[in-house]
Amino acid sequence: MLFKGQNFAKHILALGFAAVFATGCGQQNSNGDTTQKTASAPADATTASGQQHFSSKAGEITIPENLTRIAALDGNALATILALGAEDKVVAVSKGTVLPKALQQFADKQFIDAGSAKEANLERVASSQPEVIFINGRMENQVQALKDIAPTYFLDVDYNNQFPSFKQQTLNIAKMVGKTAVAEEKLAKLEADIADIKSKTGDKTALIVMVNNNKLAAYGPHSRFGVIHDLFGFKPADDSIKVGLHGMAISPEFIAEKNPDYIFVIDRGAAITDQKDAAKKVLDNALVNKSNAAKNGNIVYLDSATWYLMTDSLLGMQTMTDEVSQALK
């Protein structure tokens, strides 16, 4: 229900603060990653009244068949909408968190600033009069307050079943914005590109490393960056890497000992600031340089903003796949 008139903002704020925050909204791995047991159910058939029904961790929603106003508070949903060519339907985004270069067009003043990726500004979200709101796990404590404003869809990919889960989320968004055919075409290309990479990885080992200032963390299969192993077929340089939101702390000695064929590097600082080349400086040391990856020129510095902020989007997944494919040439 949309509220209009002089007391609009006050009414919405009252709703927001009165709402009971949702807790325990999703299944959580012991490592802190929020995942769902299965991919979201496919959208039901459009009803005779011109409405669509969808299900996510935020519950059941009913939205218009022809959406015109979307509050995309999740960067992955926003990137998928852009890849589908439906960006004209977006009215609000989370500008309080740095937008990746690929999403910079949404920094324009025509899009309402709806807060940060961790905390939505409820009054601004309401002022955009959305027909649907997209969120992710970072806003889990605001689910009910956002649902009081408009139907809310919780974008969530299960890393234990990553590609099918990602694919279903993409198709759900595509159906919402009337771009199912576009999504199916892009997903088919993506699957073909992934299969091509897998045919080339063979017995190659890889280590996924995030550099955060001077700290190093490794990520293995079924993690937020686990596509390197789970989709692209690289063997883990170490099978014992624990899955966790922040990875497993490692050192240059660890890298030298595991001696991977490839090191894929995400620079957290470069992903969220204008900082450049910090990761290269950290990894340019005698121990890392002893590895096969360093000796063969296979330390791959990834587009960190894409890998850190758009991992579960259609645009992000294709960009990531292209990067890894290029690294194998």
**How does pLDDT run across 260-273, given as a tens digit for each residue?**
999 999 999 888 87
User: Cα dist. 327→103, 246, 256, 266, 308 in Å?
Assistant: 24, 25, 21, 14, 19
**What does the H/E/C string look like for 117-130?**
CCCECHHHHHHCCC
Asked whether the predicted pLDDT for residue 229 surpasses 90, the reply is yes
Confidence of residue 52 (pLDDT cuts 50, 70, 90): very high
Residue 174: pLDDT band (50, 70, 90) is very high
Query: What average pLDDT does this structure show over 190-202?
Result: 97
If one counts every other C-beta atom within 10 angstroms of the C-beta of residue 37, the result is 9
d(CA 33, CA 18): 28
Whether residue 34 is predicted with pLDDT greater than 90 in this model: the reply is no
* Whole-structure pTM value: 0.82
Q: Structural domains in the chain?
A: 8-178 (3.40.50.1980), 200-327 (3.40.50.1980)
The CA angle 100-136-307, to the nearest 5 degrees, is 35
Burial of 67 (0-12, 13-18, 19+ CB in 10 A): middle
What is the C-alpha to C-alpha distance for residues 277 and 270, in angstroms, rounded to an integer? 8
- Confidence label for 103 from pLDDT (cuts 50, 70 and 90): very high
Using one digit for the tens of pLDDT, what is the confidence trace for 120-172? 999 999 999 999 999 999 899 999 999 999 999 999 999 999 999 999 999 99
pLDDT tens-digit profile of 21-33? 333 333 333 333 3
> Token pair 């890998």 is at which residue?
307
* Residues paired with 27 in a beta bridge: 35
Query: What's the Cα-to-Cα distance from 73 to each of 46, 57, 59, 101, 120, rounded to whole Å?
Result: 25, 16, 17, 17, 8
> Which two three-digit tokens encode residue 132?
């649907």
Amino acid occupying residue 210: M
Residue 77 has what pLDDT?
97
Cα end-to-end span (Å), the chain: 54
Closest CA to 52 of 121, 153, 198, 144: 153
Q: Are 113 and 121 in contact, with CB atoms under 8 Å apart?
A: yes
Q: Which amino acid is at 316?
A: G
Q: Is the pLDDT of residue 175 over 50?
A: yes
| Angle (CA) 38 34 165, round 5° | 30
